[in-house]
Amino acid sequence: MSAGEPITAQGWNAIVSGLDGLYDAVIALGGAMLEVPVTGPDAEAVTVIAEPLGEGRPVRALPPFGTRSSHLLVGLTDGPWRIHVAAHGYVTETRDVTLPSTDPLPVTLTTDGVVVPDFFGVPTRAVLDRLRALGVDADALLDTTGREVSRVALPPEYADAPVLYQLPGAGTVVPVGIGRVRLVVASALRRDPVVTMPSLIGLSMTEARQVLERLGLVLGDTSVRS
């Protein structure tokens, strides 16, 4: 099978079954094992490494697979180990453990910054206020025409304009104080003022001009009919 070719459900099941068997084969190689359940970030973003506090090399954990929801360290020797659990945007945690141990080593990671909310459809003024409260700056603010909009003195016509795009996306962890978010908002509709045209019938030219000027209008070309 080549890259880009479609795969049948039967073929996919065969691949999963093969990987599951390989996973079990690695576990069966021997040595102590340690299960590390991690809560906080998505499992695929987490790295778990065991560092021996003595002789030996660091061991990287197998990621969750199939029915397993925890990272799994295999092939460890008996003795003291230091477990490092890390993920981008989260504070790295370390735990010391002595093997053999049959108890799982649960670890909870906390964010190293703030999680960017989902701003889609939220009015621009409310988004800017929320970012300031989180300690995050709006690095750029553009409307859908590409026009740059002032973030410091937001024009009134953009206050209720909904956010249509944000970078980074919702759920991303950014550092407090130095984090930056870019926004694209709907273009503001500019409404020109309108007036009701008065009747000028029966007025002299001077009177008609005065009436128009009071309304902010200018008398244009005129013609005289007999």
Domain boundary among 108, 138, 159: 108
Residue span of the structural domain in which 193 resides: 113-216
**pLDDT (tens digit, 9 = 90+) per residue, 194-212?**
778 888 887 888 888 888 8
Burial 160-192 (b: 16+ CB within 10 A, else e): ebebeebeeeeebbbeeeebebebbbbbbeeee
- Kindly state whether residue 48 falls inside one of the protein's structural domains: yes
- Kindly state whether residue 4 falls inside one of the protein's structural domains: no
211 phi, psi to nearest 5 deg:
-65, -45
Q: Is residue 125 within 8 Å of 154, Cβ to Cβ?
A: yes
**Which CATH number belongs to the domain containing residue 48 in this structure?**
2.60.40.1120
Domain boundary among 108, 131, 155: 108
Domain boundary among 108, 127, 155: 108
- Kindly state whether residue 1 falls inside one of the protein's structural domains: no
- Kindly state whether residue 224 falls inside one of the protein's structural domains: no
Distance CA 37, CA 83 (A): 12
pLDDT at position 192, please?
65
pLDDT at position 30, please?
56
pLDDT at position 28, please?
47
Same domain, 135 and 90: no
Distance CA 40, CA 46 (A): 9
pTM for the full predicted model? 0.56
pLDDT at position 16, please?
61
Specify the DSSP class assigned to residue 20: H
Q: For every one of its 226 residues, what pLDDT tens digit does the chain have, with 9 covering 90 and above?
A: 566 677 787 776 676 666 565 655 555 455 688 999 999 888 888 999 999 998 888 999 988 877 788 999 988 889 999 999 999 889 999 999 999 888 999 999 998 888 899 999 999 999 999 999 998 988 899 999 999 999 889 999 999 999 999 999 998 888 888 778 999 999 876 666 777 888 888 788 888 888 888 888 887 777 777 6
Same domain, 131 and 174: yes
